[in-house]
Amino acid sequence: MKYCSNCGNLLEWIIPPGDDRPRHVCQSCETVYYQNPKMVVGCIPEWQDKIILCRRNIEPQKGLWTLPAGFLENGETIADGAIRETREETGATVVELKPYLLFDIVHIQQLYMMFRSRLLSPEFHSTPESSEVNLFSQKEIPWGEIAFRVMDKTLQIYFTDKQSGKFDFQIQEIEAPYD
């Protein structure tokens, strides 16, 4: 951020009085701009013994596989956002959403909320966001072609839990990659 959206003056990067971290602050109108983590919501859509993955048709990670997920929009609940993202990326309708995994990804200021869900029917298709959409068993997952570390971790946890039959809600952290 460079300019105040309230009055148009230049912003400064300072610690405002009573705060404990630097923020963008307008010295002219005293507006403080708080930047908070972005919420990503998504689903693990299940059909019988398989789950849906989609091959990304957009950057970042175009051409790699992922679970359907994306940024929560204003005015949506996290469940509504996960349903919308699944529909946008796979053309599928999901029901029976159950909160499953919450990931803190502090180094990129994101939170991921993943739901287990059931496909209403095995109807899905490619979309502008996904060049391919398919159902995969654990053995069929293209492990070397997963788009994001958080999705790889989600899949690993899911298939471990599937073996035990226990899908307890978990909070995990994705650490910053080593240089």
**Residue 79 CB partners (closer than 8 Å, separation 6+):** 41, 97, 115
Range list for CATH 3.90.79.10 in the chain = 38-173
Check residue 103 and give left, alpha or beta (phi > 0: left; psi -120 to 50: alpha).
Answer: beta
Summary mean pLDDT of the chain? 97
Q: Concatenate the DSSP letters of all residues of 34-63 into one string.
A: ---PEEEEEEEEEETTEEEEEEE-SSSSTT
**pLDDT tens digits for range 13-68:** 999 999 999 999 999 999 999 999 999 999 999 999 999 999 999 999 999 999 99
Q: Is beta strand 110-119 parallel, antiparallel or unpaired with respect to 170-173?
A: unpaired
Q: How far apart (Å, rounded) are the C-alpha atoms in residues 121 and 176?
A: 38
- 1-35 architecture in CATH? Single Sheet (2.20)
Residue 178 is predicted with a pLDDT of 82
Does the domain formed by 38-173 have CATH 3.90.79.10?
A: yes
What's the rounded mean pLDDT across residues 137-152?
98
Q: How many CB atoms lie within 10 A of CB 101?
A: 22
d(CA 112, CA 126): 23
pLDDT score at 179:
66
Residues of the chain with CATH 2.20.70.10: 1-35
Q: pLDDT tens across 7-28, in order?
A: 999 999 999 999 999 999 999 9
